[in-house]
Amino acid sequence: MKRIYLDHAATTPVDPSVLRAMKPFFSDRFANPSSFHSAGLDAKRAVTESRKRIADVLHAHEDEIIFCSGGTESDNLAIQGVVRAKRQTPNAKCHLITSAIEHPAVLEPLKRLAKNREIDLTILPVDAYGLVSAKDVVKAIKETTVLVSIMYANNEIGTIQPIQEIGREILAWRKKRDTKYPLFHTDACQAAGVLDLDVEKLHADLLTFNGSKLYGPKGIGVLFVKRTVKLEPVMYGGGQERGLRSGTENVPGIVGLAQALEVAEEKKEKEYTRLLKLRDHLTIGLLKIPKSRLNGHPCKRLPNNVNISFMDMEGEAAVLYLDAKGIQVSTGSACASAKLDASHVIRAIGMSYEAAHGSIRFSLGRSTTMADIDHVIRVVPGVVKKLRHMSPVKVEMKYFKEEDEIKKNGRLKK
């Protein structure tokens, strides 16, 4: 049976050229970049060169690229690092701002800090499409605000945030009051390789991305830290990465990530157009199923993300039925995670529990073809029908009106 992998938002396969670039650094050029001999120097050069390649894509300085173990660590370093640095001043108050649909790697450290009364936290709501408004961000800023963290693109529903606008507003706020705070962090894990990562344009002070969503290796991530940002490390040790992230550098991972980012940048434009066509085709095809609804923004969304709620059935059951038919997708719903709650993202965009429990995410990638999409469009209706057949829940149609234009075009033109 052919297997169709539509879970690229969870992780991507490693690109062959990335694997090739990494291979020598396991057993051949394996030395520790901190060693003073020629082998160490060779490894160090590989790290330095990779750092430069990444900095070039971000329009950043080399010393602004900090390598970490992945997106979660980068997000934690950004958040905890800023708070720790600020709290070195006695009696310093810290207020942070984030959105309701952030990844747990941002929300959980923030909630923990708030619970420990180390920070005040504002969690901004999003609109029905999952958009954060730049105006809301500015309104929430206080004298004590040290950091605003808003994700670039959402992992579940694919909504792309107005990061440039938010960054510009925050910068203006700072300039007006001649202060260094609040800093602006964005989690760009889903955006890397798809959207513009130019940190100057985005006015980002801190930016996270990782290898595993970028056709690079797992276990490697980057935190861009602007030179002017004061950060206190979360881990202490040998003082690697400007003292911000101690620990022997993951040289193969670093080399792989640089290669992966470059390949993604090369392919970006063509791949964007290709994916968009596939995405819209899939959206149109799936919305023909009665009582279905597209979650997320009808046009400001990642080109590889289709998230649809099918009423009257439960997502996990559908994922398992689809898997048995060779189609691998994800759900953000209750049973997929260890929690009992329905997806916090789908709930935050104002959807009912019924819709949240029946949401399925199809995330396309480089290997996805039009034939795959057609196959999925053929298989999904049967699975949905079977599960609905078994279900006693019958939500009334009036609760999820969908615009005809989305049903026809897969998105809105605007």
* Residue 235: C-alpha distances to residues 47, 167, 249, 344 (Å): 20, 28, 14, 30
223 is written with which tokens? 């935190």
Instruction: Please choose, out of 105-113, 285-293, 388-396, 397-405, the segment that lies near another protein by the rule CB under 8 A.
Output: 388-396
* C-alpha to C-alpha distance for 213 and 165, rounded to whole angstroms: 25
* C-alpha to C-alpha distance for 236 and 194, rounded to whole angstroms: 34
* C-alpha to C-alpha distance for 84 and 87, rounded to whole angstroms: 5
Count other Cβ atoms within 10 Å, centred on residue 125: 13
Instruction: Tell whether residue 338 is a contact of another protein (CB under 8 A).
Output: yes
* C-alpha to C-alpha distance for 296 and 241, rounded to whole angstroms: 37
Considering only 335, 366, 407, 409, the residue that binds another protein (CB under 8 A) is: 335
Span 315-334, contacts to another protein by CB under 8 A: 316-317, 320-321, 323-324, 326, 333-334
Tally of residues, the chain: 414
Span 351-380, contacts to another protein by CB under 8 A: 352-354, 357
Residue ranges of alpha helices (H) inside 87-190 are 104-115, 134-140, 163-177
**CB nearer another protein, residue 138 or residue 336:** 336
Considering only 63, 198, 341, 405, the residue that binds another protein (CB under 8 A) is: 341
Closest distance of CB 241 from another protein, Å: 35
**CB nearer another protein, residue 17 or residue 391:** 391
DSSP string covering 228-256: T-----SS-SS-TGGGTS-S---HHHHHH
DSSP state of 31: -
**CB nearer another protein, residue 79 or residue 311:** 311
Q: Please, which residues bridge with residue 159 across strands?
A: 301
**CB nearer another protein, residue 256 or residue 358:** 358
Q: Which of 68, 94, 189, 335 is catalytic?
A: 335
DSSP string covering 314-365: -HHHHHHHHHHTTEE-B--SGGGSSSSSPPHHHHHTT--HHHHHTEEEEE--
CB 61, CB 227: distance < 8 Å: yes
Which run of H or E residues covers position 270?
helix 251-287
User: Which x/- pattern, by CB under 8 A, does the window 275-314 give for another protein?
Assistant: -------------------------------------xxx
Q: Please report the sign of the dihedral spanned by the C-alpha atoms of residue 128, residue 407, residue 391, residue 1.
A: negative
Q: Is 335 a catalytic residue?
A: yes
**CB nearer another protein, residue 347 or residue 407:** 347
Closest distance of CB 316 from another protein, Å: 4
# of chain residues touching another protein (CB under 8 A): 28
Considering only 2, 176, 389, 398, the residue that binds another protein (CB under 8 A) is: 389
**CB nearer another protein, residue 90 or residue 392:** 392
**CB nearer another protein, residue 300 or residue 361:** 361
Residues that bind another protein (CB under 8 A): 1, 312-314, 316-317, 320-321, 323-324, 326, 333-335, 338, 340-342, 352-354, 357, 389-393, 395
Give the residue numbers annotated as catalytic, written as ranges: 335
